[in-house]
Amino acid sequence: MFRPLEPISNKARILLGLGFFAAFVALWSWATFGGYVSRTFLADPLTMIEEGRLLLFKFNFLYDIGMTIWRVVGGFVLAAIVAVPLGIVMGAFKPIEALFEPFVSFARYLPASAFIPLLILWAGIGETQKLLVIFIGSFFQLVLMVAVSVGNTRRDLVEAAYTLGSSDQAIVRRVLLPANSPEIAEILRLVLGWAWTYVIVAELIGSSSGIGHMIVDSQALLNTGQIIFGIIVIGLIGLVSDFLFKAVNRALFPWRFA
Amino acid sequence: MSGSKLEIDKVGRIFPGAKDREPTVALMPTSLSINANDFITILGPSGCGKSTLLRIVAGLDLQNQGEVRLDGRPVAGPGRDRGMVFQSYTLFPWLTVEQNIAFGLKERGVAETERARIVSSYVDKVGLRGFERHWPKQLSGGMQQRTAIARALANDPEILLLDEPFGALDNQTRALMQELLLGIWERERKTVLFVTHDIEEAIFLASRVLVMTARPGKIKTDLAVDLPYPRTYKIKTTPAFIALKERLTEDIRSEAIKADAH
């Protein structure tokens, strides 16, 4: 049964995946309904769902969800617009890489969340500040990962293009770009996941809307049901965006999945 | 020699040694003159510098001395006048078979109808009709190399360079590929420079075989192959072929022993 790397059927894969979700909920139910954990600290699943219903239909939680998504997507798109082209030229042209790479490598380790107090001083607690947190959090990661991907382009493909008469500029446009597009899409998917962490942190610290804001409010009211509902919503949105990204990749890069 | 297509004039290559290491002489200064429509195979043990020589001609590697001239003009960097087929599979994976073949034509801005016509004719020449819309990933190794040959030829280069293009293929496929390539050459009379370590392949394809010595590489034997055309696989069992094979086997064997002793 446990032969290394042995594939399993699709049906078994789905059953096992769902099975673990079920086991998780079962353990949670057992701990809460069985009275093993105080209700003050952990709401049971049914309370969580009821709280979620209240949030959605009474407290306009959809607006908060919308705000959070807007912030993530906004900050992330801004970061990607600058980071992806910069990463590509860094990967393609070594002098440009030598110029930026050391600084970007340093900046990448500056935690975006540590910038929040500073950004509040600079930009207040409005939307600009939220977008900046996401931007800082994703920009340097994107630049570096894209640069590495482009820099690792198969040399023989570049050489083949040269012997077919490509100019230096054509190498970037007709080889480096298409060769790395799937990898860049994958990098975007990964970093978008990290951007979700930053937006929630930004909303926890200074915000009047958004999922993170709701979570802080619920903490003040000791409403763990709402907190858990908020966290699960974040997880679900992540799952959906991941799924969308993968579907788009499949449509855009059929040669990879042929 | 003004009649020659490609002139390799005292070309040598030394790779600088890493820290505290002696530099490696990959290629002793080598001179060679190739006539238009020649099919030259360069035969040698691995590591003898035959690929280095080919890469210098392609403009992908730089010599430390000497000069390569194509039609009298010195070679500086890679260009579409020297088409190349590599040992590794170098089709662009994001392009279909026909898009791969059209790559160089598109680079040159050949009009679309003309492009389609040329691509279509090469699809037929390499026997890939029905696979035009396939991705490289969906092709066998032999089909990938056939596409690579078509891609290089569609660009109409002055000379075609092949670096052990069939090295990764199984024996049967390799034999078929040799016949296909030779057939195209017999019809189109391109100038071809073909690097291999397979003696039979070298004789079967060539109008002239060059044997290189073990590192540092230089040309040891220069042998015209006077077997009649058109050649088929059957020629490989004729006495003339076997005599050539015997002679080159001796030549290569002594070099391989030297190379192994290093």
Interface contact flag, A179 B108, Cβ < 8 Å: no
Residue B75 within a domain:
yes
Residue A177 within a domain:
yes
- Among the partner-chain residues A162, A165, A179, the one whose CB lies closest to the CB of B155 is A165
Most confident of B20-29, B36-45, B91-100: B91-100
Interface contact flag, A179 B138, Cβ < 8 Å: no
Is residue B230 predicted with pLDDT exceeding 90? no
Domain span holding position B215: 4-92+159-261
Q: Which of B97, B57, B10 is nearest to B194 (CA)?
A: B57
Residue B205 within a domain:
yes
Residue A15 within a domain:
no
B208 exposure class (CB count in 10 Å sphere: 0-12, 13-18, 19+) = middle
Q: What is the DSSP letter of B237?
A: G
The CATH number for B203's domain is: 3.40.50.300
pTM (2 decimals)? 0.88
| Cis amide leading into A117 (omega within 30) | no
CB atoms within 10 A of CB B180: 17
What is the ipTM for the molecules in this complex? 0.92
How close, in Å, is residue A216 to chain B by CA atoms? 48
Interface contact flag, B86 A164, Cβ < 8 Å: no
Q: Which of B200, B180, B177 is nearest to B246 (CA)?
A: B200
Residues of chain B found within 8 Å of residue A158, distances taken between Cβ atoms = none
Residue B81 within a domain:
yes
Q: Does residue A158 contact residue A175 with C-beta atoms inside 8 Å?
A: yes
Is the minimum CB–CB distance between A253 and chain B shorter than 8 Å? Answer: yes
Q: Does residue A245 contact residue A188 with C-beta atoms inside 8 Å?
A: yes
Residues of chain A found within 8 Å of residue B137, distances taken between Cβ atoms = 255, 258
Is residue B1 predicted with pLDDT exceeding 50? no
Domain span holding position A69: 48-257
Interface of B with A in 75-114 (CB under 8 A): 77-80, 82-84, 86, 88, 90, 92-95, 103-104, 107-108
Residues of chain A found within 8 Å of residue B161, distances taken between Cβ atoms = 163
How many domains are there within chain A? 1
> Which tokens hold the place of B44?
């040698």
Interface contact flag, A164 B88, Cβ < 8 Å: no
Residue B105 within a domain:
no
Of chain B, the percentage scoring pLDDT greater than 90 comes to 73
**Exposure string (b/e) for A18-46, b if CB count within 10 Å is 16 or more?**
eeeeeeeeeebeeebeeeeeeeeebbbee
Residue B122 within a domain:
no
Is the minimum CB–CB distance between A251 and chain B shorter than 8 Å? Answer: no
Residue B137 within a domain:
no
How many domains are there within chain B? 1
Residue B34 within a domain:
yes
Amino acid B2: pLDDT: 47
Interface contact flag, B152 A178, Cβ < 8 Å: no
Residue B178 within a domain:
yes
Per-residue tens of pLDDT for chain A, all 258 residues = 688 999 999 999 999 999 999 999 999 999 999 999 988 889 999 999 999 999 999 989 999 999 999 999 999 999 999 999 999 999 999 999 999 999 999 998 888 888 888 888 898 888 899 999 999 999 999 999 999 999 999 999 999 999 999 999 999 999 999 999 999 999 999 999 999 888 988 898 878 899 999 999 998 888 999 999 999 999 999 889 989 998 999 999 999 887
Mutate to test the interface with B, among A164, A167, A174, A250 (most CBs of B within 10 A): A164
Backbone angles phi, psi at B15, to 5 degrees: -90, 125
The CATH number for A197's domain is: 1.10.3720.10
How close, in Å, is residue A149 to chain B by CA atoms? 16
Average pLDDT over residues B192-220: 91
